[in-house]
Every structure is written in structure tokens, then in C-alpha cells.
Amino acid sequence: MATAKRRVQARDARGPQNSKKKLPKVLTGIAGLDLVLEGGLPAGRVTLLSGGPGSGKTIMGLQCLLHGANAGQPGIMVLFEERPAAMRQNAWSWGWDLTRLENKNKLYLMDARLDPKAVISGEFSINALLAILDQRIKSMRAKLIFIDAVDVLLHLYDSPKSERRELHALHEWLLDRGLTAIMTVKTVQQETVPSQYAFLDFMADCVIHVDERVTAQITTRRLRVIKYRGSGYGRNEYPFIINENGINIVPVFRDVLQHRTPGPKISSGQAGLDDVLAGGYKCGTSILIAGNAGAGKTTLACVFTRAACLRGERVLYLNFEESPEALVSNMLSPGIALQPLIKTRRLLVRSYLPEAMGVEEHLFFALKELDESQPRHIVVDAISACKRMGSEQAAFEYLMRLLNACKERGITCLCIQQTSGLDVEEDVSGIGISSIIDTIILLRHRLTGGGSLSRQLTVMKSRGSPHSDQFHEFRITNRGIDLVKA
């Protein structure tokens, strides 16, 4: 009786089909993924994770299961391929202690590997596994189930008909128990769901495909929701990374731009330049400082950095060119003392080697820093180096998303770009981010007839603000930058 009642309740819990109520969902605990799935996985239904070997399916499924287990929804992981002991060990590398949850009866790892020596003679079904699971589900009141490598099970069947029959039985079994299920299946190459297991696609209410691609020697993992019955979802491909906390996704929603309105003008740190810009930079906008090597770009950025820090505003300096120590020491020559600003944590300098990571990891670190240190302004030195994250496209993705994230948070971005060609203007629009840049300052220097170096500065663009379009002579002195009055 009790079982029957529970079964009815379970059926009700999963059923939006009889009403206009919103589809009940279960959070995955992976913040970006919950956004893409508009609230998580379908409760009481089957979600299929498909992808090639090593694409991150198992980690993703396990992470969802653990989130549930920690949030009071005990879960079972059924392993068709790996040993439970190996899984426990792997989980450690993401800092997940499975044994602790197992001891608390919140998690159960079911070893479902068939004896490879067993002889197969005629038809069979997985009734015994389901009977064992039933006992577990009851004793631990499990709500979630994660079936890893269902393809290994299906390989045992010799005909598509028996595969289909088994899957159908499994599907019914899951639905009857009202379990929220995640299943992984291996795919090859471009397939999203293995064509021979079309029924898998049918039984799943939500299908997520994960893959891993290598472009220019840098690997990017991506996920895409193929379908989600009864729910909206993000339609793009979302890059993700796997780091010491498991899966991290920074979804891009290009269709919704929620930029803040630019704030008031703030000083560039140089009175002459403030005049040229009719008051200074606009807070919360993106400014590009372009020029050849040695034109004074970094110096100009540091002049601003110092002024902002001295006003009490935090600056995050993302440096792809040199180490924090090198930056500090190089700025001593134009008389900009950065060390005291770093000491008081007004200035945070983070140096990264562009080719050390893919775009996603770079972005992950940058956004994490934005959220944790809450800077008012950031400096990216230099965006030209971002190409070394893989390609021009990689640089574009990184900058577009970083700058968008800053605009959403009202953070001023000072981007430095090293130009090489003679046609500086073409160079500036090179990476293709000019649409998101509000102000462009161009620096150039050349030898004069007298053998001295002449430096010039001009403002090529300044959105929503008047500016001088003259070339202005400037000098780098041991007290910073001086604009020569025309």
C-alpha cells in the first residue's frame, strides 16, 4: 500500500502534462548550466548526456548527483564501465569525498560491470539490477540516479530490437519511481546521439551534448542542449572548463545585452588628456589605447591606474606581457610607483601567459577576479597578446565576453593594443571588437629631423562625448606623461 501510494505521488510530482504548471526542475548545482537549462534538469525525467570519450560527461553527471546528495536528495550512481573504487579516487581530484556521502547514506555507487568471462546464451534483461536498485532506493530514499555508460550495457544485446526493449523497460522503471535520471552515452565524432540508439533520444526529455575540440593546439570543451521537452533553454554552444572544482560554465547570452549606462567622467590621470577628452574617460566604458611598441601605451594606462588607485578605486591589471615585478620596475622610470598601490590592494596585477590556457580558463579566472575583488576599472595589457590564446577568433571571444562582463558590472576597461603595421586604423579594428570600444586613443612616435623622438597622441573615437581630433605632442618624463600645449 505504502509503495503504491508513493508511486502515485511520484507520478504526480513529475507530471506537468496534466496542467499548465511549470515543469518541475532539479538544480544541477553547476551555476552556468542551470542558467542554460533555465533552472536545471527536468524532475522525474531522463536527461541524456552524450559525448566522446574524455569529454566530461561523467564529471558533469557526478557533479549533479553530488549537488543533489548534499542538498538532501540522495542519489545512486550506476557504473557500467568503471570500478566504484576508481570513481572514488577520480572524484578526489575534484575535491569530492564520495565515501563521506556514502557513509551518510546519501550516495550509493552500484557496481554494474558484468563479469567479462560470463557466457551469453540467449536473451536476458536487467531485472536483477533493477531489483537490487529498488531495494537501495527504498532504504536510502533516493531521488536521483546517474547511470554512467549506458552504451556498455546496450553493447551486450545482439539486436536493435532487444536493445530497444531493454531501454524501454528501463525508462518505464525510472518513470514509475519518479527518479530524476541522468544517463551518459558515448558518441563518436560529430554525432550528438549515437544513431544506433535512436530510442535513447526518444526516451530522454532533455539531451545535452558535450564535446572537446582542439583548435591551434588549444583545447576547448563545449556543451549544447539538443532538446528540452516542455522548457526553454539556451540555444548556443557553451564553452566550459573542468578545473579543481569540477565543471564551470560561463554562458554568453549575446541576445541580451544588459550594459549599464556609462557613469560620470573620471580623470585619465593626465590633466592635458582630460582636456582633450572633454573631462576624461567615461566611467564604465571601454577605452582602447593603440600604438607601436614603445609608443607609451602601458605608461598611459599606468598613469590612469595610479590616479584611480589614489582616488581609492580598485584597479585590476590583467597582464599578458610581463610579470607584476617587471611592470612595477619598468614604471619606475616614468616615475609611477605601483608597489605602494599593490601593497594596499588598491591595485591587483595578475600576469598570465596567453598560451598557457584556453579562452575559457582565461575568462574563468578573469571573471572570478571581477566577482571576488570587485574592481572599478580593469586594464588589459595587451589585447594583441590574446591571439596567443589560440587564434584571432579566440582573442575575439575572450575580449568580447570580458568587455561585456565589465559593461554589465559598470567597470571601466582600458585595453592596450600593440599595432605593427603602418595602417594603424586597420590594425585597431583588427580583432573586430571595435563595436564594443567607446574610445580609441592612438599613440605614435617617430624620429624628428633633429634626431629626437616625437610622440603624438590623438583621439580617434569617443562615443557620446566631444573630443579634440588634433594630434597632440606628448613627452614621457620621470614624472609621468606631459602633454605639450599646442
How far apart are the two ends of the chain, measured CA to CA in Å?
A: 93
Q: Which is nearer to other proteins, 79 or 378 (CB)?
A: 79
Q: Which is nearer to other proteins, 119 or 422 (CB)?
A: 119
Quote the CA–CA distance of 351 and 34 in Å, as a whole number. 31
81 contact partners, CB below 8 Å, separation of at least 6: 113, 148, 149, 152
Q: Residue type at 49?
A: L
DSSP SS3 for 354: helix
If one asks whether residue 132 binds other proteins (CB under 8 A), the answer comes out as: yes
Interface residue with other proteins, options 53, 95, 122, 451 (CB under 8 A): 122
If one asks whether residue 127 binds other proteins (CB under 8 A), the answer comes out as: yes
Phi, psi dihedrals of residue 48, rounded to the nearest 5° = -105, 130
If one asks whether residue 4 binds other proteins (CB under 8 A), the answer comes out as: no
Strand ranges across the sheet with 347-351: 347-351, 315-319, 377-381, 412-418, 286-291, 439-447, 453-462, 472-477, 480-483
For the bound state, the minimum distance from the C-beta of residue 102 to other proteins, rounded and expressed in Å, comes to 16
Q: Which is nearer to other proteins, 126 or 276 (CB)?
A: 126
Interface residue with other proteins, options 48, 65, 112, 203 (CB under 8 A): 112
For residue 5, what are the CA distances in angstroms to 36, 78, 135, 143, 157?
A: 35, 26, 17, 16, 35
If one asks whether residue 124 binds other proteins (CB under 8 A), the answer comes out as: yes
Element (H, E) at 247: strand 246-249
Stretch that binds other proteins, among 117-125, 170-178, 208-216, 406-414 (CB under 8 A): 117-125
DSSP SS3 for 324: helix
DSSP SS3 for 412: strand
DSSP label at 16?
Answer: -
If one asks whether residue 310 binds other proteins (CB under 8 A), the answer comes out as: no
Number of residues that bind other proteins (CB under 8 A): 21
If one asks whether residue 131 binds other proteins (CB under 8 A), the answer comes out as: yes
For the bound state, the minimum distance from the C-beta of residue 117 to other proteins, rounded and expressed in Å, comes to 7
Q: Which is nearer to other proteins, 34 or 151 (CB)?
A: 151
Strand partners, 239: 222
Q: Which is nearer to other proteins, 135 or 374 (CB)?
A: 135
Q: Which is nearer to other proteins, 117 or 254 (CB)?
A: 117
Interface residue with other proteins, options 118, 188, 422, 447 (CB under 8 A): 118
Quote the CA–CA distance of 227 and 233 in Å, as a whole number. 8
Quote the CA–CA distance of 6 and 283 in Å, as a whole number. 58
For the bound state, the minimum distance from the C-beta of residue 166 to other proteins, rounded and expressed in Å, comes to 10
For the bound state, the minimum distance from the C-beta of residue 132 to other proteins, rounded and expressed in Å, comes to 5
Interface residue with other proteins, options 115, 244, 255, 423 (CB under 8 A): 115
Q: Which is nearer to other proteins, 105 or 454 (CB)?
A: 105
Interface residue with other proteins, options 86, 114, 326, 453 (CB under 8 A): 114
Given the rule CB under 8 A, which residues bind other proteins? 111-112, 114-115, 117-129, 131-132, 134-135
